[in-house]
A and B are shown apart, each in its own frame.
Chain A
Amino acid sequence: MKKKNKYLSILFVTLLLLTGCWDKKEIDDQQFVISLGIDKSEKETISSKNSYRYNITYATPNLSTVQKNGGGNEPFRYFQYVTGDTLTGTIKKAQAYYLEPINFEHVKTIILGKELAKDKVLFQEVLDYIDRTPQFGRTVLVMIAENTAKEILEAKEETKPFRNRYAIHSQDITSIPDELIIDVGKVLNQLINNEGTTFIPRIKKGKNNLGFSGGAVFRDYQFQGWLDEAQVRVLSWTLGKNKGGYFPIWYQGAYVPYEVSHISSKVVSATYDKYLKVKVQIETEGDISEYILDNSKKYIDSKWVKQLEIELEEAIKKEIRDVFDILQMEYKVDIIGLKDQLKLKYPKVWKEIKEDYEKIFEEAEIEIDVNISIRRIGMVY
């Protein structure tokens, strides 16, 4: 009898184990979203009482093409389009259409449409949603589309479609300059800590490819304007990043590129007396990788290098000056990391100016000192 009871109890316990659980997720039944595009709906007129505010495009991978020899002519990814009033509502709607739960845990890229980025309220809503929803990781890359996010996601590239080449892993992306790799966590931190100031890279659709070019500048959560490719490059110099970047200069009858192998930037002095006076020192090391094949010309010698260094310094200084002018006068936004440096190194100065920093930055006198060293010139003189 006792033995029988024992067996029975084991049976009952097994029953409990066989019931499964509330939160089971069948992997086949999930739509794993890889990239998410959010656009402002064309029908959006007034922000309230409108059930068409967002256009969401999301891409889920076609799992059969992921396998080694599967796929064939099937598309790499499937797209879903849906329109709704709030992001949550839109996603619920999508779930109702496609009868499969949408899973955002594997999102790699979020692309925001241009019009959405320009709408302050929608922009704030989207970023709050990303921050608030636990499904989104903070390492998701975020970028702004030149036109619409839908267009970017659908774009076909010559070799393969935009299959998150940019998204798999930051190290894999050789084509993106360092300063353009911005994940959503960083954007959120900047927005929250710097009164809605941030920089988000722009992604552009070419004829048969996609590429990054420049980015958008925000102040007070409001879109201020674009910075183009060259300006972003210069911006990254002042941030002390852009290792592996280059700077071309017309020098003695040839177009010479200067390849940066090491760069650092720091504020070396700061004083405040009616207006802020800052000196930024940028030091770089790099190589000359091209000149011209012409035996009648003089070979590269140390004088040539010295002269080139000086000319490069002048040219770069000028470009930085131009970008600073745009940032100070036009966009009135400090995305050059000056605030952080002042806080860290000149707390006394910072204490005086922190109340009215935005205005003081606008009028600040920023002196730029560029110090360039050319270390290598390749295999020939």
Chain B
Amino acid sequence: MYSMNDKVSTRQVKLILILDMFSVSVLILPRVTVEVARQDGWILVIGGTLLAFLYSWFIAQLVKKFPEETFVDFSGHIVTRPIGMLLSLFILLFFILSAAIKIRIFGELTKQILLPDTPIEFIIISLLLICTYLSRKGYECRARVAEILFPITLIPLILILLFAIPKVEIPNLAPFFQLSWKEFFSGSYYVSLTYITLILLLFSNAFVQPPNKSGGICRTSLLVVGLLKLSTVVMTIAIFGAKGTQRQIWPVMTLMQVIHLPASFIERQEALMMIFWLNTVFSIVSGYLYFSSVIVTKMIKSNEQFYLVLPLLPFIYILSLYPSDIIEVYNWQQWLRRKIGPIFLIVIPFLLWLIAKIRKVGATSEEKK
């Protein structure tokens, strides 16, 4: 093993962030935007991404003040340790619940499309175990895995989108710009919440070398993810129409069925697509798992992180199987994203940044120079 010092480069963090942000949410994003703004849904993606730039600015400013520290440490510095601990505990719960929902969605889709006879429990356990294996090895390992997964996930996706272009029917997007300002803002706000994984930056900054480049990391990865999401949403609406998109549970999966590869080379592209998409789920779930274990490590002031991953598994497993059907899972996801997401994505980073500014805790940019 070489250089297992748990330090990763900014480039690697960008790759991780892109994979994480581009995970489950993109599968349902077209439907969600269409529900708000009908055929103009794609405009919301632009608005949402712009808002996410704003959130990321606060997060970047916050973590800049505390290089080499995770959220658990610096929230203690800013708002005293007990409150910091409480916040960390909430984030821990949020991570566990998010991981559970992501993994359940993944399980449901795999069962429906790839493995109809395999029990969903088995699908979930096997993915959880492999995520545990990765999480135990630390952040550096995650970065290396992201480097491998990045091309094999995104290149096929872009190729498949290109194959779908002939099926696009522009009249489905017309008439343009029919949404009201209210719809635009509420919709953009909602879309911006799909970038919730930005909060992983609150923790990951401690592992980045050099540590004060968070702003740039956020901008690049948001731009890439924003463009990918935009093109996916535009294509989906243009192919299925507004009402057709609304009917699909997984519009992007159905998008794969539309494509007809020459000479019936591969007949069920959505199965192929699942395999690529699985990579991003793997990335995000192992991310949540890893940072959950990091929070526990910091909270109990342990030196080692790896042995704390496995005890988290039962919680995630049971929670993931708790909702009875796919619609309930979706409702949980909505609740988590709409009600809880904003607190962690917007309110907490902003307040902490404000308090840190007022109390003058943490390194300022002038000091570093």
Contact = CB atoms under 8 A, between A and B. Distances in A.
A169 interface: yes
A105 B119 contact: no
A27 to B, nearest CB: 14
Contacts of A193: 172, 240-244
Contact of A344 (B118, B174, B243, B260): B174
Contact of A192 (B112, B116, B178, B244): B244
Contact of B175 (A137, A185, A337, A351): A351
Interface in A336-381: 337, 339-341, 343-344, 347, 350-351
A341 B175 CA distance: 10
Interface in B231-286: 239-244, 247, 254, 257-260, 263-264, 267-268, 270
Nearest to A347: B175
Interface in B99-125: 112-119, 122
A134 B247 CA distance: 14
Given A134-B113, A192-B241, A193-B242, A105 B175 contact: no
A279 interface: no
A72 B116 CA distance: 38
Nearest to A24: B117
Contacts of A134: 112-113, 257, 270
Given A106-B267, A138-B258, A193-B244, A23 B175 contact: no
Contacts of A265: none
Contacts of A169: 263-264
Nearest to A343: B174
A188 B244 contact: yes
Contacts of B340: none
Contacts of A351: 175, 178
A138 B258 CA distance: 5
B115 A23 contact: yes
A340 B170 CA distance: 9
A139 B240 contact: no
A139 B260 contact: yes
A138 B170 CA distance: 19
Contacts of B264: 168-169
B167 to A, nearest CB: 8
A189 B175 CA distance: 17
A139 B166 CA distance: 13
A23 B114 contact: yes
A166 to B, nearest CB: 14
B156 interface: no
Given A139-B260, A344-B171, A189 B176 contact: no
Contacts of A340: 169, 171-172, 174
A137 B174 contact: no
Contact of A343 (B175, B258, B270): B175
A15 interface: no
Give the interface centre of A131, A189, A341 by most chain B CB atoms within 10 Å: A189
A153 B283 CA distance: 48
A21 B119 CA distance: 11
Contacts of A188: 244
Interface residues of B, number: 35
A366 B247 CA distance: 33
Interface string B181-204: 000000000000000000000000
Contacts of A337: 171
Contacts of A97: none
Interface in A125-154: 131, 134, 137-139
Contacts of A21: 115, 118
A137 B115 contact: no
A105 to B, nearest CB: 6
B108 to A, nearest CB: 12
A134 B264 CA distance: 17
A347 B40 CA distance: 13
B174 A185 contact: no
B177 to A, nearest CB: 9
B257 A137 contact: yes
B176 A23 contact: no
A197 to B, nearest CB: 12
A343 B244 CA distance: 17
Nearest to B113: A134
A22 B270 contact: no
A189 B241 contact: yes
Contacts of B267: 105-106, 137
B229 to A, nearest CB: 22
Nearest to A349: B175
B239 A189 contact: yes
A232 to B, nearest CB: 20
A299 to B, nearest CB: 44
A344 B241 CA distance: 13
Nearest to B175: A347
A192 B243 contact: yes
Contact of B118 (A22, A139, A189, A341): A22
Contacts of A350: 175
Contacts of A131: 247
Interface string B142-176: 00000000000000000000000001011110111
A131 B119 CA distance: 24
A193 B248 CA distance: 13
Given A23-B115, A193-B241, A341-B171, A138 B254 contact: yes
Contacts of A106: 267
Contact of B247 (A105, A192, A341): A192
A168 B262 CA distance: 11
Contact of B119 (A22, A341, A344): A22
A137 B256 CA distance: 9
Contacts of B112: 134
B116 A23 contact: yes
- Tell which of A23, A106, A168, A339 has the most Cβ of chain B within 10 Å: A23
Contacts of A343: 171, 174-175
A131 B247 CA distance: 10
B258 A139 contact: yes
A339 B172 CA distance: 10
Contacts of B169: 340
Nearest to A354: B175
Contacts of B244: 188-189, 192-193
8 contacts: A23-B115, A23-B118, A106-B267, A134-B112, A185-B257, A340-B171, A344-B171, A350-B175
Interface of B: 112-119, 122, 167, 169-172, 174-176, 178, 239-244, 247, 254, 257-260, 263-264, 267-268, 270
Given A139-B257, A340-B169, A350-B175, 20 more contacts: A21-B115, A106-B267, A134-B257, A137-B267, A137-B268, A138-B254, A139-B259, A169-B263, A185-B257, A188-B244, A192-B247, A193-B240, A193-B244, A337-B171, A340-B171, A340-B174, A343-B171, A344-B170, A344-B171, A347-B175
